[in-house]
Amino acid sequence: MKTFVKVLVAILIVIGLCFGVYAVLPQTSKMFVKGNIQYRTDDTAKAQVDKIKKTKIPGFDKTFGDGLENLCKSSAWYYEEEASGDWKVTYYGSKATMDLTTAGMDQMYTDQPMKVEFTVRNNSQVDIVITIKDDILSTDQAKEAAYEKIANAAK
């Protein structure tokens, strides 16, 4: 009985340590953990993420999946359903390098975290929001420049 209690206490300590480490991780790192687990265990999430990965980059014959995963060092995709019936896939990438100065912008990003949110409304319209570091690329010029860099990263 003593051995059982010792094993149980050891398991609880390990679980507590894992939770403690997870709790202090930054949001981006948590999303890598959650996204990878979700992609492997949730069939609906996998199907929706795969749909978004196959979405063509506007103005290019390349897909977001190929472009984003080659642009960033490590990648995670996370699926969420919204109360309105819409759904969202969020891409998290680390160490993205994107020079937007070639497109007349004044931003140069080197080894920065990147987040791309794909919100699908009525199962047809896709709204895309690109965030690098803490900057949301909101102008059409910035989005087009980012799309070009993402497409160029695709193989």
61-74 tens-digit pLDDT? 999 999 999 998 88
pLDDT 10s digits, 34-82: 888 888 998 999 999 999 999 999 989 999 999 999 998 888 999 998 8
Instruction: Give me the phi and psi of 121, to 5 degrees please.
Output: -105, 135
The model carries a pTM of 0.81
3-state secondary structure of 15: helix
- What angle do the packed helices 27-41 and 43-53 form, to 10 degrees? 110
